[in-house]
Amino acid sequence: MTPFTAFDHAMMARALELGAKGLYTTTPNPRVGCVIAQGETVIGEGWHEKAGGPHAEVVAIGQAGARVVGATLYVNLEPCNHQGRTAPCVDLIKKNKIKRVIAAMVDPNPKAAGGGAALAAAGIGFQHGLMEAEAKELNIGFVSRVTRGRPWVRMKIAATLDGRTALANGKSQWITGAAARKDGHHWRARACAILTGIGTVKADDPRLTVRDVETPRQPLRVVVDSRLEIAENARIFEGGNVLIFCGVEPKRKLSAEIQRLPNATGKVELPEMLEELARRGVNELHVEAGFRLNGSLLRERCVDEFLIYFNPSFLGDGAQGMLELAGASSLDERMKLRIASVDRVGDDLRILARPA
């Protein structure tokens, strides 16, 4: 197998950069970028913008034109080998007599996998594994949905340094500063859906829309409301595109889709809710809820990542905490996290962490 060169690394880094252009738009498809080089000269670039649109390889090959014969194609996800909304990229690569294809990772979707083997069978050099970790991070939600049958769940929490997220009455606007709130909207924008609970709707009456950053589409807004108590004039209904999960039989009409998913206690069956969202094409689920729903999601192992903004302040006793959890009886029983990143955002501190 030909070892990857410094130029190969540079081209894959560029492919990932191009793929990230689809951060807010490709749902439910993966984010994919492609670079084509003849020798060490770039002759074509492309990225997948939205479902139903041309794939990154198609755009890059179209830009390269006749110069593509004998070239090397770099792409962050194995070229597809199936007929979906568009034709298989493998066929186009073979037709244009590309000599070598380097993919960061193989396609985890069983419906689309096998592209690399098909290329190799046609005499085209195929390698994968270059910057694979970065490629998986870019499409962490897509990988989760097609391999686990559930979205990647990212729980956003804004808290004081003593871990308080709201006053005793539930009011939480605003604990963090403007820069952190704007940063939080970037994370909202990349998600396919935003989840909250009825407690937050009652306390803050949020819209849960992306407002502080430009976005071509608004994520689906999801509410967990076991007893279907939501007010008909709640601001979350503005603009439509709302899905409510409840545990009771709906007896009134609301400006939203309502789905009943009761568990044994009449509340919402949270793991089944995640499976339903995956069936709807949700790759990344962004949670902005109160301490009770946060605790329930964590207890039922429905959280993959924590996005926590700490404000340099204290609220003290009586204020609400981050999670409603039973206390550990020993230090060994505590839930341990692995910190992925720590960044300062304005006056606040942002920590991205995952269960260890």
Cα–Cα dist 247/250, whole Å: 9
Half-sphere exposure of 339 (CA within 13 A, CB side): 6
Per-residue tokens: 309? 């903004």
Distance from the Cα of residue 284 to its chain's centroid: 3
Average pLDDT, the chain: 93
Per-residue tokens: 12? 């894959």
Q: Residue 256: is its pLDDT beyond 70?
A: yes
Q: Residue 83: is its pLDDT beyond 70?
A: no
- The whole-number pLDDT of residue 84 equals 67
Instruction: Report percent pLDDT > 70 for the chain.
Output: 98
Cα–Cα dist 104/76, whole Å: 4
Write out the E strands in 49-192: 72-75, 100-103, 125-128, 152-160, 164-166
Q: Residue 352: is its pLDDT beyond 80?
A: yes
pLDDT tens track for 129-180: 999 999 999 999 999 999 999 999 999 999 999 989 888 877 777 889 999 9
2 — pLDDT class (breaks 50, 70, 90)? confident
Per-residue tokens: 279? 């069936």
334 — pLDDT class (breaks 50, 70, 90)? confident
Number of residues that this document lists for the chain: 356
Q: Residue 81: is its pLDDT beyond 90?
A: no
pTM higher than the cut 0.85: yes
Q: Residue 79: is its pLDDT beyond 70?
A: yes
Angle formed at CA 251 by CA 250 and CA 255, multiple of 5 degrees: 70
Question: Residue 38: enclosing H or E segment and its boundaries?
Answer: strand 33-38
Q: Residue 1: is its pLDDT beyond 70?
A: no
Cα–Cα dist 356/335, whole Å: 8
Integer angstrom CA distances of residue 189 from 24, 54, 103: 6, 22, 27
212 — pLDDT class (breaks 50, 70, 90)? confident
Of residues 320 and 342, more confidently modeled: 342
- The whole-number pLDDT of residue 320 equals 84
pLDDT tens track for 84-143: 667 789 999 999 999 999 999 999 988 777 899 999 999 999 999 999 999 999 999 999
- Catalytic residue annotation: 57
Edge-first strand order for the sheet with 242-246 is 257-260, 242-246, 220-224, 193-197, 284-287, 152-160, 305-311, 348-355, 337-345
Cα–Cα dist 15/98, whole Å: 17
Of residues 129 and 356, more confidently modeled: 129
Cα–Cα dist 9/243, whole Å: 42
- The whole-number pLDDT of residue 277 equals 98
pLDDT tens track for 43-65: 999 999 998 899 999 999 999 99
Q: Please give the domain boundaries of the chain with CATH numbers for all domains.
A: 6-138 (3.40.140.10), 142-355 (3.40.430.10)
Of residues 74 and 80, more confidently modeled: 74
Q: Residue 298: is its pLDDT beyond 90?
A: yes
- The whole-number pLDDT of residue 114 equals 85
